Structure 1
Amino acid sequence: MSSSSGNPPVATILPPSQIRTLALASLGGALEFYDFVIFAFLAKLIAAHFFPVSQAEWLRQTETFGLFGAGYLARPLGGMIMAHFGDLSGRKKVFTFSVLLMAIPTLLMGLMPDYHAIGAGAPLILLVLRMMQGAAIGGEAPGGWVFVAEHAPPGRTGLATGLLTAGLTGGILIGSIVILALHAVLSPDAVADWGWRIPFVVGGIFGVGAMFLRRWLDETPVFREMHARAETAETMPVKILLRDHRRAIICSALTTWALTAAIIVLVLMMPPLMQTLHHMPPAQTMLASLSATFCLTISVLVVSALTDIVSPRRLAVPCGAILTVGAFVLYAMPLLFPKVLVLWSALAGLSCGFIGLVPVGMLKAFPPSVRFSGLSLSYNVSYAIFGGLTPAIISALTPHSPLAPALYVTIAALAGATGLRYSPSSEHDGA
């Protein structure tokens, strides 16, 4: 990974080899995130199929979000195992395997029997598949950020990671488009009966294809150089992290909390919450989600690229404040103007530029020998805690106040900005 020292010539912004690497990495990442998030978009239908109909609707939805959160709980173990081998044996192998580990359970989710067919076994099987997805996604984002950053030309680390992050959020965008198309082509009864399975089957099939495409990627130059100099981490990278990089871990975990709050509360949970709070039709909420994700993708790319010029530390507070404003716009304005939810969602998406700071800050915080493990440990443990608890917390608090999601995002944004301001890298980045 390299730091910026002025604007490089245009020819070096993205050489052809980096374009190919970013394209293949982003494609697989987009498909993985698509597979992971369609579960949230289809939460109400999944609840109807995998839990007893005798239960209250709010209880079934809470249980479904609990399964959604269980995927986050599996992230640290899966992520650390893959990061361990990524730091010891190379980034490429692990980066390729993570796609397959996501594709298989996604395909099975679309094909498995429901509660009516096999009773209590249905939610238990769904739980296992969801945890497999969590293990896969635990290696995808950290591995992808390390992979593209170590391939990036000098002074373009922020742009490279921003393009990959945009690809990852693009998976959420694809999910929104697929769900919208599903509701446009099929009747509500058909979607509720069997149509909800289609996005899972399609995602699983394309995920397997992405795994084969990633075999064309090259190992990163940074890892090859470390391997040639015998500088790869010794047997247990996690021991080195816990001994020498505790501050980096804590700060990176705090910034990840802000990232989870932005994505989960402002994008993933927004459709079912708006359906419950304001009785909005699914098509309207999914169109709003599409708008939010598209604007989020643009915002993340712009802010990530900006870190090649301006220190992430200097951007932390203003980006955190903007994120807070976006959260209140999304959850306060529909109370007054519900018919323009798409507009409020777009503004909320534009407020999510803080997400672009998170990978850049973490990449700066850890040395190459334990970089993959450092990102994976910080990112996945934080996502397991906050990603796993956030859906349950929001579901429990929202009946008491429709602004509870915005208040939660405010707290997370404050923590994230503080973590980024005091990250170890900030002492050396010219801030």
Structure 2
Amino acid sequence: MTTTVSAPSLPDAALRRPLTRRDLRTLGLSALGGTLEFYDFVVFVFFANVLGALFFPADMPDWLRQLQTLGIFAAGYLARPVGGIVIAHFGDILGRKRMFTLSIFLMSVPTLVIGLLPTYASIGIAAPLLLLAMRILQGAAIGGEMPGAWVFVAEHVPQRHYGMAVGTLTAGITGGILLGSLVAVALNTHYAPAEIHDWAWRIPFILGGVFGLVSVYLRRFLEETPVFQELAERKKVARELPVKTVLREHRAAIVLVALMTWVLSTAIVVVILFTPAYLQKVFEIPAKLSLQANLAATFTLTLGCAVVGWASDRFGTRAVMLVGWGGLFATTYLFYLGLPGTPESLVWSYALVGFFVGSIALLPIVGVRAFPPAVRFSGLSFAYNMAYAVFGGLTPVLISVWQKVDVMAPAHYVAGIAVLGFLIGLWPFASRGWQPRA
């Protein structure tokens, strides 16, 4: 039986209408911007070793250089909650569109600047400090972009296409990881290590910055969401600090989104980001093969997000949560227990688990509906970014320590989190969402 939930508040006729060309344009531009912005955020990790060599003293020990480079990368995650809360605050007061455009601008400019920065050999200690400053701005931007994109699209589309639209948008955002991986592979294929070290490392950052600024221009043609326009017309836009209202009146929604963020961050960090190095270190799988398998998994992740969104419209959120997270549990053990396997089995089993990682699209599908329109942006952004800062930061440390006593630690952790996602699917609030008081 299909579970019926209330989409972001719109008149009944608007909820039942078909997708229009304007809806498709909104979804397309939003997804494109999300792809480019997430690419800008993650491309750093693909060139972390090169950046470490260029932005720190040559005589610094390798372990310390790597630690400081990863510290600069992590600074982006630490800045997410602050940027997300501030951008969402004004998104609930001034409008979704303005902040939606601002977030991609705040990502594009620092990315472009990184591609143009002088290195340590040219300006000394100022080089890593400038790199750190740009990374903090990137983190603040991504903290506002993802919740903002989800809310913006969800409040534009009719109810019967709500899941498909949010899932497709999420597919576009995760496509940024795929794009970053493809660019890294292309550069390492066409340029020698010395060329990348000398100048070619700048290419992905400059391209990301330029295309991001083009996306800023294109977002000028988007319109404010009907939901916010209705709030403004009725003078029901948040008057007090929106996050204060969220903390006082919507604690169940905070818990729901935070727990689902734990599931999302674990699936992405462990399965997609952590596993390629794990394959090489633990099972001595060649780097080229592990990266090819990871590309397959990232592609099916992107596909899975879109399928999950479509299925939630067709079969209901609860059914998709149970099947999606149950499928992640099963395919996680199928993949990790089958290692190292053959090259063919590695690629197809990694791709299969990657498809079920696409169940992460359930977070925005559930999370947007968990908060009322007046504080929706702030509520989703606060819960998501705070939880991601905690769980996204602690997960690599936990896995690294656990792995010393159990080589299957990644499998057990992801499977355990999949069980949590399955149990959340049984929580009525997850599929019902926020309801106005009678």
Aligned residues of 1:41 and 1:268 also touching (Cα < 8 A): no
Aligned to 1:315: 320
Greater displacement, 45-54 / 319-328: 45-54
- Could you tell me how far 1:280 is from its partner in structure 2? 4.8
TM-score by length of 1: 0.89
SS of corresponding position for 1:424: helix
Q: Provide Cα deviations, 1:312-361, integer angstroms capped at 9, x if missing partner.
A: 23333332232233434444434343575433331221121321211111
Distance change (3 Å), C-alpha of 1:96 and 1:154: same
Aligned to 1:166: 171
Give, as a single letter, the amino acid of the residue that structure 1 aligns with 2:94.
S
2:253 is aligned with 1:221: no
Aligned residues of 2:110 and 2:137 also touching (Cα < 8 A): yes
Aligned to 2:3: none
Aligned residues of 2:107 and 2:137 also touching (Cα < 8 A): yes
- Between the aligned partners of 1:184 and 1:268, the Cα distance in structure 2 is 21
Aligned residues of 1:109 and 1:126 also touching (Cα < 8 A): yes
Aligned to 1:300: 305
Residue among 390, 410, 416 paired with 1:411:
416
Residue among 124, 130, 145 paired with 1:125:
130
Q: How does 1:279-428 map to 2 (within 5 A)?
A: 279-337=284-342, 341-398=346-403, 401-422=406-427, 424-427=429-432
Aligned residues of 2:424 and 2:430 also touching (Cα < 8 A): no
SS of corresponding position for 1:218: coil
- Could you tell me how far 1:305 is from its partner in structure 2? 1.5
Residue among 31, 43, 54 paired with 2:48:
43
Q: How does 1:30-69 map to 2 (within 5 A)?
A: 30-51=35-56, 60-69=65-74
- Could you tell me how far 1:190 is from its partner in structure 2? 2.4
Q: Provide Cα deviations, 1:134-160, integer angstroms capped at 9, x if missing partner.
A: 110111111111111111013111011
- Between the aligned partners of 2:138 and 2:220, the Cα distance in structure 1 is 21
Aligned to 1:20: 25
Aligned residues of 2:292 and 2:347 also touching (Cα < 8 A): yes
- Could you tell me how far 1:188 is from its partner in structure 2? 3.2
Greater displacement, 152-161 / 345-354: 345-354
Aligned to 1:140: 145
Number of residue-to-residue matches in the alignment = 425
Distance change (3 Å), C-alpha of 1:137 and 1:397: same
Structure 2 unmatched ranges of 5 or more: 1-5
- Between the aligned partners of 1:113 and 1:281, the Cα distance in structure 2 is 34
Residue among 183, 190, 211 paired with 2:188:
183
Give, as a single letter, the amino acid of the residue that structure 2 aligns with 1:73.
L
- Between the aligned partners of 2:190 and 2:423, the Cα distance in structure 1 is 46
Give, as a single letter, the amino acid of the residue that structure 1 aligns with 2:266.
A
Residue among 200, 205, 208 paired with 1:203:
208
Greater displacement, 127-136 / 405-414: 405-414
Q: Provide Cα deviations, 1:97-141, integer angstroms capped at 9, x if missing partner.
A: 101100111112222234454555444333222221111011111
Aligned residues of 2:340 and 2:346 also touching (Cα < 8 A): no
- Between the aligned partners of 2:360 and 2:425, the Cα distance in structure 1 is 11
Greater displacement, 177-186 / 18-27: 177-186
Q: How does 1:270-281 map to 2 (within 5 A)?
A: 270-281=275-286
Distance change (3 Å), C-alpha of 1:103 and 1:185: same
- Between the aligned partners of 1:224 and 1:371, the Cα distance in structure 2 is 14
Greater displacement, 122-131 / 229-238: 122-131
- Could you tell me how far 1:85 is from its partner in structure 2? 0.7
2:103 is aligned with 1:86: no
Give, as a single letter, the amino acid of the residue that structure 2 aligns with 1:264.
V
Greater displacement, 346-355 / 106-115: 106-115
- Could you tell me how far 1:422 is from its partner in structure 2? 2.8
2:256 is aligned with 1:231: no
Distance change (3 Å), C-alpha of 1:333 and 1:70: farther
Greater displacement, 151-160 / 260-269: 260-269
Q: Provide Cα deviations, 1:202-222, integer angstroms capped at 9, x if missing partner.
A: 111111111111010000011
RMSD: 2.8
SS of corresponding position for 2:158: coil
Aligned to 1:254: 259
Residue among 136, 155, 162 paired with 1:157:
162
- Between the aligned partners of 1:321 and 1:235, the Cα distance in structure 2 is 41
Aligned residues of 1:44 and 1:272 also touching (Cα < 8 A): no
Give, as a single letter, the amino acid of the residue that structure 2 aligns with 1:289.
N
Greater displacement, 237-246 / 47-56: 47-56
Q: Provide Cα deviations, 1:292-315, integer angstroms capped at 9, x if missing partner.
A: 111011111111111113332333
- Between the aligned partners of 2:425 and 2:84, the Cα distance in structure 1 is 22
Aligned residues of 2:80 and 2:385 also touching (Cα < 8 A): yes
2:116 is aligned with 1:101: no
Aligned residues of 2:370 and 2:434 also touching (Cα < 8 A): no
Structure 1 unmatched ranges of 5 or more: none
Distance change (3 Å), C-alpha of 1:102 and 1:212: same
Greater displacement, 26-35 / 300-309: 300-309
Give, as a single letter, the amino acid of the residue that structure 1 aligns with 2:114.
M
SS of corresponding position for 2:160: coil
- Between the aligned partners of 1:328 and 1:62, the Cα distance in structure 2 is 31
Q: Provide Cα deviations, 1:23-69, integer angstroms capped at 9, x if missing partner.
A: 11111111001111112222333344345566665665454434333
Greater displacement, 43-52 / 207-216: 43-52
Give, as a single letter, the amino acid of the residue that structure 2 aligns with 1:320.
W
- Between the aligned partners of 1:184 and 1:119, the Cα distance in structure 2 is 31
Residue among 106, 110, 115 paired with 2:115:
110
Greater displacement, 287-296 / 396-405: 396-405
- Between the aligned partners of 1:365 and 1:68, the Cα distance in structure 2 is 31
Aligned residues of 2:88 and 2:148 also touching (Cα < 8 A): yes
Aligned residues of 2:300 and 2:358 also touching (Cα < 8 A): no
Percentage identity across paired residues of the two chains: 47
- Between the aligned partners of 2:17 and 2:182, the Cα distance in structure 1 is 34
- Between the aligned partners of 2:345 and 2:123, the Cα distance in structure 1 is 42
